[in-house]
A = this chain, B = another copy of it.
Amino acid sequence: MTVARINRISEFEGKTVQLNGWVYNSRRSGKIGFLMFRDGFGIMQCIVAKNDVGEEAFEVFKSLTQESSLSVVGEVVKNDRAPGGFEMVVSELMVHQLSSEYPITPKEHGTDFLMNHRHLWLRSKRQHAILKVRHEIIKAVRDFFDSNDFTLCDSPIFTPNAAEGTSTLFGTDYFGNTAFLAQTGQLYGEAAAMAVGRHYNFGPTFRAEKSKTRRHLTEFWMVEPEIAYCEIDENMNWAERLILFIIERVLENRKNELDVLERDLGKLEHIKAPFPRLSYTECVELLNKGGINFTWGDDFGAPEETFIGEQFNQPVMVHRFPTAIKAFYMKRDPENEKVVLGMDVLAPEGFGEIIGGSERETEINLLEDRIKDEELNQADYEWFLDLRRYGSVPHSGFGMGIERVVAWICNLPHVRETIPFPRTIGRLNP
């Protein structure tokens, strides 16, 4: 018997096939049973008629509980009124296991309860849809870079030092020494860009931030392109093209999932290049004009990011931040040394920063000064400084946090649903 998958069921119209899966839910009207059947690839309505399957099998159907595992055999028929456009007329049922008292029922549950049952919660329609959109976004990111001649070079997680200070680092005993879990692969990415021209790394990243906000995870995935012979404007072009590519792919392939999530597609379809590009200083003016009291030199928080994003209903690219609030490796603006050639991308609809990047400092003496100013240990950075000793070139890059992009695209209020098994200050389970 051919085993079919629900996402490809249209290929089997008129044929008798087997489906392997679980009971999503079921109801009965006299001698006709309606089984919403979940196989992991999709959900399909299966019709179980007593006259078709016989009395014994119909009794089996009646005994089915939520998330019982079973296989069904039947004919695939077109039915425009059925969800997905097809249904199965079942001729045979084979139960693998009857579940009893599946914890997640169609009634409301609290967040903590659901998070404690995350291993089961993933089976629900909404979480399944988020997983699929996340997959699509990650695939789009990789396809984008791969098709533009970027080379993936995985950066190490175990690192002997800290790119941006040690306060938010997780450490581990490394055979008698301390290794820190990388919170960025950027310094390694710069080395790779000098070897391969266009580089990206894409992996989990760790921050021991004590922030309990709806935007923070202790473990999250980040993609970081780094490009040799690339200045800040081209860097912003890459960020813009990447975002457009992601949205195009998601709209092309995941409209069903966005429907499940009740996402307003118009807001995504509306996203168009060129994205507004504003300097930090222009943003400060915009904030003050908008009645938000903000002092030049401070870092934007969520309220400022939301305000700026809301003025445009497009991703906004903010550039040229105060030197003092940005990392030591950012290049100072040759026209104004109070600012660096950093750039952030703020998502619309209040989703805040999704990308942070910059053109990098190429001059070794300026880097050495900044390392001293920030009270970092220069010896830790000698290998990194080698990149400025041997064939230094203009280069730029950025990091994009995947979970924040998933939150934006899916319109989720909290990042905890954007990753299969979220880790926050209060959660290490399951």
- Does A194 make an interface contact (CB < 8 A)? yes
A20 in complex: contacting residue of B21, B153, B177, B393, CB < 8 Å = B393
Report the Cα distance A420→B120, complex, angstroms.
37
8 Å CB interface, A150-178 against B:
151-160, 170-175, 177
- Contact between B122 and A195, CB atoms less than 8 A apart: yes
- Contact between B153 and A420, CB atoms less than 8 A apart: yes
- Contact between B191 and A386, CB atoms less than 8 A apart: no
Report the Cα distance A393→B5, complex, angstroms.
16
Report the Cα distance A135→B150, complex, angstroms.
10
8 Å CB interface, A172-196 against B:
172-175, 177, 179, 181, 188, 191-196
Stretch from A312-320, A325-333, A421-429 at the B interface: A421-429
Stretch from A95-103, A243-251, A276-284, A352-360 at the B interface: A95-103
A67-B391, A139-B146, A391-B68 in contact; A154/B419 too (CB < 8 A)? yes
Stretch from A77-85, A125-133, A267-275, A286-294 at the B interface: A125-133
A149-B7, A391-B22 in contact; A423/B158 too (CB < 8 A)? yes
Report the Cα distance A417→B272, complex, angstroms.
43
A383 in complex: contacting residue of B71, B119, B146, CB < 8 Å = B119
- Contact between B175 and A172, CB atoms less than 8 A apart: no
- Contact between A384 and B119, CB atoms less than 8 A apart: yes
Stretch from A51-59, A197-205, A343-351 at the B interface: A197-205
Report the Cα distance A387→B423, complex, angstroms.
21
Report the Cα distance A52→B429, complex, angstroms.
68
Residues of chain B with a CB closer than 8 A to A102's CB: 390-391
Minimum C-beta distance from A50 to chain B (A)? 24
Minimum C-beta distance from A125 to chain B (A)? 11
A-B contact sample (13 more), CB < 8 A, given A7-B149, A96-B393: A21-B197, A40-B193, A119-B384, A123-B195, A135-B152, A142-B142, A155-B420, A156-B423, A158-B218, A159-B428, A171-B173, A179-B428, A188-B421
